[in-house]
A and B are shown apart, each in its own frame.
Chain A
Amino acid sequence: MNEVGSVGLIAALAFAAYGVVAGAMGGKLRSLRMVRSAERAAAAFFVMITLAIVALEIQILRDNFHNAYVAAHLCPTS
């Protein structure tokens, strides 16, 4: 599940970076295709971030203490 979360984050970063470039280019070149592409990148960014959040929540709910964050902040009784 840690791998899923990390993939979600890095994919979100990639989509965000692409969104910046496509948005700026779409505005500058007045290219509707680029603008649509930037908007889809923004949507994909949202989906990937949500995926990472879900991956972390699942680990919290499963008390997966192999994950450093879960081990640092949770115990089954709290």
Chain B
Amino acid sequence: MPYVVAILMATGAFFASITFFVANPFGELFMASTAGPRPFQPADGNGLNPLLQYHSMVIHPPMLYLGYVGFAVPFAFAMAALITRQLGDNWIRTTRRWTMVPWMFLGTGILLGGRWAYSVLGWGGYWGWDPVENASLLPWLAGTAFLHSVMIQEKRGMLKVWNVVLIITTFFLCIFGTFLTRSGIVSSVHAFAQSNIGPFFAVFLGIVLLFSVSLLFLRVEFLKSENKLDSVVSRESGFLFNNWILLAAVFAVLWGTIFPIISKAVQGVTVTVGAPFFNKVAVPIGLLLLFLTGAGPLLAWRKTSFQSLRRNFTLPLAAAVVVGVALFLSGVRHFYAWMSLFLCAFVAVSILQEFFKGARTRQKTGGENFLRAIYNLTMRNTRRYGGYVVHLGIVLLFVGFAGQAFQAKTKGLMQDGDELRVKNYVLRGISVVSGDTPNYTFQKIRLAVSKDGQPLGTLEPDRRFYKASQQPTSHVAIRSSLAEDVYAVLAGQDPDTGKAIVEVFVNPLVAWVWIGGFVTFLGTLLAMVPSRVERQMAEMRQAQEAGVGVSDAL
């Protein structure tokens, strides 16, 4: 513990000194006068950036920061374990929940950021591979690899060096993410977060890297694996592949994110890498990960026999083939979207099969009814079944991602009575109204929405001009359903005709992204609940300690 406190306090000292000496929020305004500087209090402030005046912005940044800050704890334990040479799996068991909590908050923060981008930025999507978005994704990916990889160390005493490397990488990327956001070193939609603290973060990053990597090299002989990989077709291999692919994703996203800095340093020209690069690289990697999400838990520890493979994979593969054929027959020709939905079916059925098999066994041995058996099964091993719920959440996320391939959009000039068609939707202008609030002036267009001739209601996108900051923004109107979102943006006013410029997107399956995020959140909470086995072991330990105490007293 003492070194854990020391490492955490070193991190705290860095942030406290940055906050006090470089970006002090308690600076005061003064006005120059002949008698010297006099305290000055303007009648009004500049106002909050209009883009930030959105409800999820109240919790999006704290969620991200809880994630960033929380990863300092497993990092501190890892460094303390290296310093004290206590490199068994104690530090990993102690920090399991300390890793899951920040992972959950970081993931939730990322999704809330996506929801903000979707509802505020008005370009029809929720993820644009912006450097600051990437900065939050990077530690989440590395943290995901760490969460999986520690299980191999706990079960088989393997990958000890790898686990330390992963937690160093995760913590480094947390600080790096803050550095990217606050330094303004790469251009971003998050330009409002820029300040002059970048160089200090660069130095801190250097110190973190030097300290942790040196310590790792000094202790590497104490991190020898207790076992070797028995077979390529095993749970360990599945975890290992999962780790490699997650790390490949980290490298690809990191490379694309810092490429403008590298190109500027090498060629003197800033070359920005856009969404097409990231999509090209990240989509296949994501699909491989999705496959492993389903296949990994079907593999046995040490070695999986052919019979076991056939028994576990037959049903999920058959379900995936049925879904794949149905999708093809219904006209889905986008390869990645098709593959994503095919794999979603495979993973979902593989997870449900695990629940079903466990419950059936309990039914046979304990005579429990099916629902009771599912509940008891889950509560007996919350870590495992909570993990499966997380995987189900990931499946739902991928269903939502696949929908992006079928996005339809149109743009037109509109006033009362004008119509805009997109897919089988018709949007008809009802009225254009202007208004004034203490915070902003606005222009709003009312659009009657109908689908296949059936009226669905109205959408009212508006364009606001914020008085304090003198900035315009568009306020998106969304009609959401499980199947698709109708998303309308008032982009401005045409100077020639005076008509409103309206953009309309139909975004299929987006709701599943938010639902998937919520299920992932719930699954993580479930995985953190102490399981019955854990509680029984804790009670036994307490009883033993009490016994020792009594015998000592005697």
> Residues 47-60 of chain A: 1 if any B CB is under 8 Å from the residue's CB, otherwise 0?
00100100110000
Interface of A is mostly: helix
List the count of A-B residue pairs having beta carbons below 8 Å apart. 146
CB of B26 within 8 A of CB of A41, answer no
A16 adjacent to B12 (CB under 8 Å) = yes
Q: Complex: how many Å from CA A12 to CA B42?
A: 30
A6 CB contacts on chain B under 8 angstroms: 20, 24, 26
The one of B19, B42, B437 that contacts A65, using a Cβ cutoff of 8 Å: B42
Residue in contact with B9 in the complex, picked from A45, A65, A70, CB distance below 8 Å: A45
CA separation between A71 and B24, bound complex, in Å? Answer: 14
Whether A23 and B9, one on each chain, are in contact in the complex, defined by CB atoms closer than 8 angstroms, is yes
Q: Say whether, besides A10-B20, A66-B39, A5 and B9 are in contact (CB < 8 Å).
A: no
Chain A proximity of B423: nearest CB distance (Å) = 37
Q: Which of B45-53, B329-337, B409-417 interfaces with chain A?
A: B45-53
Give the interface size class of chain B: 35 or more
Q: Which of A17, A71, A73 contacts B29 (CB 8 A)?
A: A71
A-chain residues with CB within 8 Å of residue B42 when the two chains form the complex = 65, 71
Contact of B27 among A18, A23, A41, A67 (CB under 8 A): A67
Q: Assuming A23-B7, A66-B29, what are 6 further A-B pairs, CB within 8 angstroms?
A: A5-B26, A16-B9, A66-B40, A67-B27, A75-B47, A77-B437
Given known A68-B29, A74-B47, A76-B44, contact A9–B468 (CB-CB < 8 A): no
User: Known contacts being A19-B5, A75-B47, A76-B44, is A66 close to B20, with CB within 8 Å?
Assistant: no
Partner of A13, one of B13, B29, B80, B439: B13
User: In the bound complex, what is the Cα–Cα distance between A55 and B17 (angstroms)?
Assistant: 18
Q: A19 and B9: CB pair below 8 A? A: yes
CA distance in complex: A68, B26 (Å) = 7
Also in contact, A77 and B25, with CB within 8 A (given A24-B3, A38-B2): no
Given contacts A10-B20, A68-B27, A78-B468, contact A41 B44 (CB under 8 A): no
Q: Is B227 an interface residue (CB 8 A)?
A: no
Q: Shortest beta-carbon distance, A46 to chain B, in Å?
A: 9
CB interface residues, B 136-157, toward A, < 8 Å: none
Contacting pair A38 B9 (CB below 8 A): yes
Interchain CB contact (< 8 A) of A45 among B2, B3, B12, B28 = B12
The residue in A10, A38, A71, A78 that gathers the most chain B C-beta atoms within 10 A of its C-beta is A78
Q: Give the residue name and chain of the A residue nearest to B6 (CB).
A: A23
Contact of B25 among A5, A38, A42 (CB under 8 A): A5
* A-B CB proximity, top 8 nearest: A23-B6, A19-B9, A16-B13, A27-B2, A75-B47, A23-B5, A13-B16, A75-B468
17 CB contacts below 8 A, A to B, read A5-B25, A6-B26, A9-B26, A13-B16, A13-B17, A16-B10, A18-B9, A42-B8, A42-B9, A55-B26, A65-B29, A65-B45, A73-B48, A75-B44, A75-B48, A78-B47, A78-B53
Q: How far is the CA of A22 from the CA of B8 in the complex (A)?
A: 12
Q: Is there an interface contact between B25 and A65, defined as CB atoms closer than 8 Å?
A: no
Task: Please report the C-alpha to C-alpha distance between residue A35 and residue B17 in the assembled complex, in whole angstroms.
Answer: 23
